[in-house]
């Protein structure tokens, strides 16, 4: 396993960036590319490494810097990756979907695999190219010909091609997980399973009762895919949530998705999703 060059970068650099008030990438010379990572149906160059268990989902706890949990289970099913700063976008890239493929190694199949950004890689090898994916072992191996996934993983770091694709969660609507510690003056939600862009640039909340009255209050990105609202009055449910995607600016309202008697550590499923 000496060739597992990507090992550990993800989590280590995320924690470092999280604990310091500025990101490690701010102190590094960034390489730039004219290729747009968000251009649909256009393949561009990136580099790739992998970390964690060879057949795992990346982080040992199946989480990551986006805050998603159980990324080893459907719908993510371990097809996950850290994004470098150009892909992670300080957390706003969380949830974006990409196809990746390789032909640079004899074990590469050349067939595209689809991954979701669930974690961050903000230093080290991840800054060597304009776009870098530090993938789960499962995702990296999925670019190989049948039976050659271990051989490909032994390559450690390879050039790949990538393209942005719409996310597609058949049968799943957008879910809101009320984070631990939420109370009437501090409300934090993890938002996941957005079809299409998969990413978010703005989240607004409308209260029920007398505070609602059609007023949308902006939440702010806490970290990763978690958005928070600090309130000077006790927030009154039910809450409606309005989402705006980062890549194409689409909006969607999940009306009254969180009931008045909401509880922390609870997931509330909406009845809506973006169309692809
Ligand atoms: C929720 O937060 C409290 C206080 O920080 C902590 O003691 C508890 O373990 C947390 N629960 C979960 C499930 O994370």
The pLDDT value given to residue 5: 40
**Radius of gyration for the chain, computed over Cα atoms and rounded to the nearest angstrom:** 19
Q: Rounded to the nearest whole angstrom, what is the distance from the C-alpha of residue 96 to the centroid of ligand 1? A: 29
* Domain boundary assignment for the chain: 9-165, 175-269
Residue nearest to atom 4 of ligand 1 (CA): 181
Mean of pLDDT values over 175-201: 98
Return the ligand 1 atom nearest residue 264 CA.
1
The pLDDT value given to residue 32: 57
Return the ligand 1 atom nearest residue 180 CA.
1
**CATH homologous superfamily of domain 175-269?**
Expansin, cellulose-binding-like domain (2.60.40.760)
**What is the three-class DSSP state of 217?**
strand
The pLDDT value given to residue 276: 76
Helix (H) / strand (E) containing 86: helix 85-88
Write out pLDDT tens, residues 72-123: 999 999 999 999 999 999 999 999 999 999 999 999 999 999 999 999 999 9
Ligand 1 pocket residues where CB is under 6 Å: 180-181, 265
**Terminal C-alpha separation, the chain:** 40
Task: Enter the pTM of the model.
Answer: 0.88
Of residues 33 and 150, the one with the higher pLDDT is 150
Residue 159 has a CB neighbour count (10 Å cut-off) of: 14
Q: Rounded to the nearest whole angstrom, what is the distance from the C-alpha of residue 264 to the centroid of ligand 1? A: 10
Residue nearest to atom 10 of ligand 1 (CA): 180
Backbone phi and psi for residue 149, each to the nearest 5 degrees, phi listed first: -65, -40
Look at strands 97-101 and 113-120 and give their pairing. Answer: antiparallel
pLDDT band at 10 (very low <50, low <70, confident <90, very high): low
Using most ligand atoms within 8 A of CB, pick from 177, 180, 190, 226 the residue to mutate for ligand 1.
180
Q: Rounded to the nearest whole angstrom, what is the distance from the C-alpha of residue 56 to the centroid of ligand 1? A: 26
Write out pLDDT tens, residues 15-59: 443 433 333 333 334 455 667 777 767 999 999 999 999 999 999
Residue 139 has pLDDT above 70, yes or no: yes
Residue nearest to atom 5 of ligand 1 (CA): 181
Rounded to the nearest integer, the mean pLDDT of the chain is 89
Residue 235 has a CB neighbour count (10 Å cut-off) of: 22
Q: In CATH terms, is domain 9-165 a member of 3.40.109.10?
A: no
| Residue 17, token pair as written in the block | 């960036």
Q: Rounded to the nearest whole angstrom, what is the distance from the C-alpha of residue 240 to the centroid of ligand 1? A: 26
Q: Which residues contact 253 (CB under 8 A, 6 or more apart)?
A: 240, 241, 242, 243, 272
Q: Rounded to the nearest whole angstrom, what is the distance from the C-alpha of residue 265 to the centroid of ligand 1? A: 9
Question: In angstroms, rounded to a whole number, what is the distance separating the alpha carbons of residues 237 and 262?
Answer: 8
Q: Rounded to the nearest whole angstrom, what is the distance from the C-alpha of residue 177 to the centroid of ligand 1? A: 15
Residue nearest to atom 12 of ligand 1 (CA): 180
**CA angle in degrees (0–180, nearest 5) for 225-229-233:** 165
Question: In angstroms, rounded to a whole number, what is the distance separating the alpha carbons of residues 252 and 240?
Answer: 11
Residue nearest to atom 9 of ligand 1 (CA): 180
Q: Rounded to the nearest whole angstrom, what is the distance from the C-alpha of residue 197 to the centroid of ligand 1? A: 32
**What is the three-class DSSP state of 123?**
coil
Residue 122 has a CB neighbour count (10 Å cut-off) of: 27
**What is the three-class DSSP state of 241?**
strand
């Amino acid at each position: 396993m000496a060739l597992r060059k990507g090992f550990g970068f993800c989590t280590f650099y995320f924690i470092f960036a999280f604990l310091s008030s500025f990101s490690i990438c701010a102190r590094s010379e960034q390489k730039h590319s004219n290729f747009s990572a968000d251009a649909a149906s256009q393949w561009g160059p990136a580099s790739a490494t992998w970390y964690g268990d060879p057949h795992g989902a990346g982080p040992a706890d199946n989480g990551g810097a986006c805050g998603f949990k159980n990324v080893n289970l459907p719908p993510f099913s371990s097809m996950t990756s850290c994004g470098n700063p150009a892909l992670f976008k300080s957390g706003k890239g969380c949830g974006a979907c990409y196809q990746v493929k390789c032909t640079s190694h004899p074990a590469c199949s050349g067939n595209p695999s689809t991954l979701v950004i669930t974690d961050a890689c903000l230093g080290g090898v991840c800054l060597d190219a304009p776009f870098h994916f530090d993938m789960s072992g499962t995702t990296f191996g999925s670019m190989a010909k049948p039976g050659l996934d271990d051989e490909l993983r032994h390559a450690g770091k390879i050039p790949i091609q990538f393209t942005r694709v719409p996310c597609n969660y058949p049968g799943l609507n957008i879910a809101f997980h009320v984070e631990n510690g939420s109370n009437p003056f501090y409300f934090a939600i993890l938002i996941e399973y957005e079809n299409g862009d998969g990413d978010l640039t703005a989240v607004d909340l409308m209260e029920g009762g007398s505070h609602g009255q059609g007023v949308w209050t902006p939440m702010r990105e806490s970290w990763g895919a978690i958005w928070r609202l600090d309130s000077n009055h006790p927030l009154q449910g039910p809450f409606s949530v309005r989402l705006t995607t980062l890549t194409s600016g689409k909006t969607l309202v999940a009306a009254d998705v969180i009931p008045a008697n909401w509880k922390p550590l609870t997931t509330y499923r909406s009845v809506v999703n973006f169309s692809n």
